[in-house]
Amino acid sequence: MAMDLWLKEMQLEGEGVAMSYKIKETLLRKQTQYQDMAIVDAEVFGRMLILDGIVQTTVKDEFVYHEMIAHIPLFTHPNPKKVLVVGGGDGGAIREILKHKSVEKAVLCEIDKDVVDACKKYLPEISCALDDPRCEVFIGDGIKYVKEHKNEFDVIIVDSTDPFSIAEGLFGGNFYRDIYEALTEDGIFVAQTETPFFLPDTVRKVFNDAKSIFPITKLFMAAIPTYPGGYWSFTVGSKKYDPTQVDITKIPEMDTKYYTPEVHKACFVLPKYIKQVIGE
């Protein structure tokens, strides 16, 4: 009798929603210093990174998230040279950032070295740019790192896990103030800011925290199949450049699967219920 192995991911605490994935094999299971990490090979989504029981990225749909979190701010800024990614140990955001010719240095600040090592071994198509000479991998606390680097980065990307346990401090108020200080005078920051359908209060709080600090704050959306609700929010805080006012005719051709100049414009057009969530 053949037995099917299924991974059941509880989508959100106490929401009574779960997503199930049929698993071909478990490639790695490890308790790191910070979290329970697994890499599995799923029938539909291929290899997946799972942290504390939550799917972080899969080889099949990662391109949506990584392209959108990187190209929206990098095509909004006219000349991004130095970029910081907080979290994002899988390296996908770095891979997209380094497609931009203007970028001279991209720093990945990830707290859990085991995640970086595992992704290099099992998710090479996502982590492939971590060995690029323009990339510096710093293992340590992102909150502390941001505090210690004032006026240094053109773009800061917060590519964090959900706002529970180790990532809680990466959402909102004080951290966003420190990000503002770490950015250059015309810097831009972007963060993944959860699902408006299931976590409207989180989306609202994060958006308002950013809005109280940055002169220009915008929410944009992308469709990511393995994230709760499938429709995901990102928040941009910018000192000078409005991401909705980018001249998309000047955006050069780039090797992407989701992001296009048209999508850059369209992703800021919000459904009514999401506008209501953020009070617009």
Please report, for the chain, the start and end positions of each structural domain, with discontinuous segments joined by +.
5-57, 62-277
Which residue matches tokens 């203007």?
102
CA distance 36 to 29: 8
pLDDT at residue 150 in the model? 97
In this model, does residue 13 exceed pLDDT 80?
no
| Residue pLDDT, tens place only, 158-205 | 997 665 555 555 556 789 999 999 999 999 999 999 999 988 998 999
Q: Are 128 and 135 in contact (CB under 8 A)?
A: no
pLDDT at residue 15 in the model? 67
Domains 5-57 and 62-277 belong to one CATH topology: no
Q: Write out the catalytic residue numbers.
A: 159
Residue 40 bridge partners (DSSP):
26, 48
Average pLDDT over residues 237-246: 98
Which amino acids are annotated as binding site for spermidine, given as ranges? 66, 90, 159-162
| Residue pLDDT, tens place only, 102-143 | 999 999 999 999 999 999 999 999 999 999 999 999 999 999
- In the numeric block, which tokens belong to residue 210? 């950013």
Name the amino acid, one letter, at 118: A
pLDDT at residue 162 in the model? 61
DSSP 36: E
**E strand residue ranges, 148-202:** 153-159, 183-192
How much is the pTM? 0.95
Tell me which residue of 184, 188, 190 sits closest to 150, measured CA to CA.
184
pLDDT at residue 11 in the model? 77
**E strand residue ranges, the chain:** 5-10, 18-31, 36-42, 46-51, 54-58, 82-87, 105-110, 135-139, 153-159, 183-192, 216-223, 231-238
CA distance 95 to 35: 24
Q: State how beta strands 5-10 and 18-31 pair.
A: antiparallel
In this model, does residue 227 exceed pLDDT 90?
yes
Torsion sign (Cα): 97, 69, 216, 250: positive
Query: Which one of 3.40.50.300, 3.100.10.10, 3.50.50.60, 3.40.50.150 gives the CATH number of domain 62-277?
Result: 3.40.50.150
pLDDT at residue 160 in the model? 79
Tell me which residue of 197, 267, 196, 279 sits closest to 236, measured CA to CA.
267
| Residue pLDDT, tens place only, 38-81 | 999 999 999 999 999 999 999 999 999 999 999 999 999 999 99
Whole-number CA gyration radius for the chain: 18
Fold for 5-57, please state it.
Spermidine Synthase; Chain: A, domain 2 (2.30.140)
| Residue pLDDT, tens place only, 16-29 | 889 999 999 999 99
DSSP 231: E
pLDDT at residue 243 in the model? 98
Burial bucket for residue 165 (CB in 10 Å: 0-12, 13-18, 19+): exposed
Torsion sign (Cα): 158, 258, 19, 14: positive
Average pLDDT over residues 208-215: 95
Q: How many percent of the chain have pLDDT more than 70? A: 94
pLDDT at residue 1 in the model? 60
pLDDT at residue 77 in the model? 98
Which amino acids are annotated as binding site for S-methyl-5'-thioadenosine, given as ranges? 35, 110, 141-142
| Residue pLDDT, tens place only, 80-95 | 999 999 999 999 999 9
Length of the chain: 280
